[in-house]
Structure 1
Amino acid sequence: MELVNLSTGKIIADKMIPAYSFIKRLKGLMFTSSFEEGYAVHIKPCRSIHTYFMKFEIDVLYLNASNEVIAAECYVRPGTIGKHHKGTSSVIELPAGTIHKTKVEPGQALQIQNLKERVS
């Protein structure tokens, strides 16, 4: 799966990891040693995040039910709690610096798609 910014046409991440079960949402990136460029974790349902037991900073996108960006947080440090944003239904965690590099902004629409869909 990949994450595409429909507003710009840019691929934000080409290795999207779904975290849709309770266990996967609970674990998230805790206890992982690194988060490589090109990866993302989509946590759904989710209204906010924490970075307890993480060893690195991350970027966070807060999405509404239509996958539009409500808010973005850059360089969220380990051991902190993300902000609550009204209307959030899911969250995408990205390697630190990704939001800046890909120029994702509130109001933009994102799409999560299988790689096969893009090739067609």
Structure 2
Amino acid sequence: MRADGTVVCERCSLADSPVARMRGLLGRDGLEQGEGLLLRPASSIHTFFMRFPIDAVFLDRDFAVLGIEDGIAPWRAASQRGAKAVLELPAGESSRRGLAVGDRLTLAA
């Protein structure tokens, strides 16, 4: 959720163990609108062996957006210096939700 109350990811899973981060979205056929995966800790991601593009939102330790990579195709990698977490969203979702560098996100159950 953004500081203004805008929900960024309604159904977001957490990958906070080495095995969960390694598995990531592998084996999935896609992400539905409103789905996402938060990888923590992480400063980089890859889409090797994935079947679909994703958006990657790089976050600092306070969940402020440091950078956004839109539509990362399969077999690519992306990173952001200083990132402590990465939110993976369906391709185009970061634009649809109006995410921008500097936005601060919060986790809500």
* Same topology, TM > 0.5: yes
- Shorter-chain TM-score tier: over 0.9
**Post-superposition CA distance 1:16-72 (Å, at most 9, x none):** 100001110000011211211110100001010000010001000000000000000
Q: How does 1:53-72 map to 2 (within 5 A)?
A: 53-72=49-68
Q: Which has the larger radius of gyration?
A: 1
Does structure 1 residue 34 correspond to structure 2 residue 33?
A: no
Percent identity among equivalent residues?
28
- Aligned residues: CA RMSD: 0.8
Write the distance in 2 (CA, Å) between the matches of 1:73 and 1:34.
17
> Could you tell me which residue of structure 1 aligns to residue 98 of structure 2?
103
Give the TM-score, by structure 1 length: 0.88
> Could you tell me which residue of structure 2 aligns to residue 5 of structure 1?
2
**Post-superposition CA distance 1:80-108 (Å, at most 9, x none):** 011x3221001000001111101100001
Write the distance in 1 (CA, Å) between the matches of 2:103 and 2:40.
19
Q: For structure 1, which segment, 8-17 or 48-57, has the greater mean C-alpha deviation from structure 2 after superposition?
A: 8-17
Q: Which runs of 5+ in 2 are unaligned?
A: none
Amino acid at match of 1:14: E
Write the distance in 1 (CA, Å) between the matches of 2:85 and 2:107.
12
The structure with the greater share of residues assigned to helix is 1
